[in-house]
Amino acid sequence: YNHRLERTEKLKIISDLAASVAHEVRNPLQVTRGFLQLLSGKSDDKNKPFFDMATNELDRAATIITDFLTFAKPEMETVSLLNLSEEMSKIETMMTPLAAMHDTVLLFRSQTGLYCHGNSSKLKQAFINVIKNSLEATGSNGKIEVSATAENDEVVIRVKDNGEGMEEEQIAKLGVPFFSTKAKGTGLGLMVTFRIIEVMKGTIEFRSVKQQGTEAIIRFPLVTAAEEPDSLSGTGA
Ligand code: ADP
Ligand code: MG
C-alpha cells in the first residue's frame, strides 16, 4: 500500500485546486475594484493616490489569474482529439477585440482539418499567453500573423509579430517563472504555455530580432481524426 502520490498526480491536484480558487477569487476582486472606484470619487484629492495604488494592485492580481488560470477549468481536464483549425478560429474570436484595443491587426490563416491531442481550454490558455505577449510588444502599426499548417507529421503554428523583439539573453530566459521585462508583467505567462505544450508532447521555439519582431513556432504531433488519444490520458493535460 503506497501513500505517496506520483508527481503528475500531485501536479494535477494542485492545478485543479488553483483553478477553482482562481475562479472563486476573480469575482470578489471585481466587486472590490468597483467599490474602490466609487469611494475614490467621493474622497479628498489627497487620498486619490492610495485608491489608485489599491486599484492597480487588484488589477495585478487579476492579471496573474489571467496568465495562469483563465482557461484551466478542472472539470474540463480531459484530453481529446482537438480540431486545431476550429480551436484556432475560437482563439481568433477571443483575441480580436483585445487586438483592436491595441490598434493591432491580428491575422489568422489556418489550414482546415488539422488535428492533435490535448485539452481544449489548456490549449487556448497556451496560445492566448503567446498572442498577448505579441500584443504587448507591438506599438503603432502593430501586426500579428498566426498560421497553422501541416508539415510532414507535425502541426506547425506560427505566431509572428512586428513588435520590439528580444535580445539573445532575453530569449534564453523565456519560461523562467517570474521573468518579465514589463512594469506590470507577471512573468508567468510563458511558464504556463511551455508546460502545457510539453504535456501535449509539443515543442516551442522563438526567433526574434530586436526592433523587428518575434516569431514563436509551436509544433505538435499531427494526428489523423481516427486516432484515439490514449497515449496522453491520465497526464492531466
Ligand atoms: P509577462 O508577459 O508577464 O512579462 P511572459 O512569461 O508572458 O511574462 O513573458 C516573459 C517576457 O518575455 C516578457 O516580459 C518579454 O520580455 C518577453 N517576451 C515574450 N514574448 C515576447 C514578444 N512577442 N516580443 C517581445 N518580447 C517578448
Ligand atoms: Mg505575458
Q: What ipTM describes this predicted complex?
A: 0.99
Cβ of 193 less than 6 Å from ligand 1? no
C-alpha 195/C-alpha 202 separation (Å) is 10
- Quick check: CB of 206 below 6 Å from ligand 1? no
116: alpha, beta or left, given left = phi > 0 and alpha = psi -120 to 50?
Answer: beta
* The three three-digit cell numbers of residue 171, written as one number: 530569449
What pLDDT is recorded for position 234? 45
How many Cβ atoms from other residues are within 10 Å of residue 190's Cβ?
23
In ligand 1, the atom with minimum distance to the C-alpha of 164 is 25
Q: Is the CB of 118 under 6 A from ligand 1?
A: no
User: Ligand 1 pocket, 221 CB below 6 A?
Assistant: no
Q: Whose CA is nearest to atom 18 of ligand 1?
A: 133
Q: What is the pLDDT of residue 227?
A: 67
Q: How far is the CA of 189 from the centre of ligand 2 (A)?
A: 4
Q: Is residue 130 classed as helix, strand or coil in its secondary structure?
A: helix
Q: How far apart are CA 224 and CA 68, in angstroms?
A: 30
Q: Could you give the CA distance from residue 63 to residue 86 in angstroms, rounded to a whole number?
A: 27
Nearest atom (ligand 1) to Cα of 192:
6
Q: Is the CB of 236 inside a 6 Å radius of any atom of ligand 1?
A: no
184 alpha carbon – ligand 2 mean position (Å): 10
129 lines ligand 1 (CB under 6 A): yes
Q: What is the pLDDT of residue 228?
A: 59
Q: Nearest bound ligand to CA 175?
A: 1
Give the pLDDT of residue 73.
67
Nearest to 234 by CA among 1, 11, 21: 11
Residue of the nearest CA to atom 8 in ligand 1?
187
Where b means 16+ CB within 10 Å and e means fewer, 120-158 reads: bbbbbbbbbbbbbbbbbbbeeebbbbbebeeeeebbbbb
Q: In what order do the strands lie in the sheet with 203-209?
A: 104-110, 142-151, 154-161, 213-221, 203-209
Please tell me the distance from the alpha carbon of residue 87 to that of residue 116, in angstroms, as a whole number: 11
Closest Cα to residue 218, out of 139, 143, 110, 142? 110
Pocket test for ligand 1, best of 68, 135, 180, 192 (most atoms within 8 A of CB): 180
List b or e across 192-203, with b for residues whose CB sees 16 or more CB atoms inside 10 angstroms: bbbbbbebbbbe
- Ligand 1: does its nearest atom lie under 6 Å from the Cβ of 192? no
Q: What are phi and psi of 149, to 5 degrees?
A: -140, 160
- Alpha-carbon distances of 39 from 25, 29, 30, 59, 60, rounded to whole Å: 21, 15, 15, 17, 20
Q: Model-level pTM?
A: 0.83
Query: Which residue ranges in the chain fall short of pLDDT 70?
Result: 1-5, 7-8, 73-77, 225-237
Which residues lie below 8 Å from residue 229, measured CB to CB, with a gap of 6+?
79, 80, 81, 117, 223
- d(C-alpha 121, C-alpha 203), whole Å: 18
